[in-house]
Amino acid sequence: MPVLELTKNELVVHLRAWESVLSLHRSIRVPLAHVRGATADDGYRGRELGLRAPGTGLPGVLHAGTFYKNGDRQFIFIARKTQPVVIELADEKWKRIVIGVADARRTAAEVSSAALAMQA
């Protein structure tokens, strides 16, 4: 599963080599000033993700890559047995990043806290 890292000024999504191949993207760096907040949202699964282009989709197993829904471009990497955390962005090529993590509530709280601290 991808690893989220919060630095002083950035949110970084580290993708291992096989994750990059499946999602057709390399690791992602976003300035914390562009992070609006994060939530745990188990509704991001299957068809609710939108149209995948490009990326990999194995229903019930893995969804990885760029997805389009309602005109929004999203980067998604969700594997089975992970909980989706939805990170809302502003002024970036993606409207949101959705990553499967072990504890979505804790991760969402950490990301939101870091984003708020940057805006203060």
* Among 74, 118, 120, residue whose Cα is nearest residue 98: 74
pLDDT in tens, 68-88: 988 899 999 999 999 999 999
pTM over 0.95: no
**Which CATH number goes with the domain that contains 91?**
2.30.29
In the predicted structure, residue 45 carries a pLDDT above the cut 80: no
Mean pLDDT in residue range 49-63? 85
User: Shortest CA distance to 4 belongs to which of 117, 106, 118, 90?
Assistant: 106
Query: For residues 20 and 50, what is the distance between their CA atoms, to the nearest angstrom?
Result: 20
Alpha helix locations (H) across the chain? 17-23, 104-119
Average pLDDT rounded to a whole number, residues 99-108:
95
Question: Structural domain tally of the chain?
Answer: 1
d(CA 29, CA 49): 22
Percent of the chain whose predicted confidence (pLDDT) is above 90: 63
Backbone region of residue 25 per phi and psi (left: phi > 0; alpha: psi in -120 to 50; beta: other values): beta
pLDDT given for residue 43 in this prediction: 78
Range of the domain at 71: 3-119
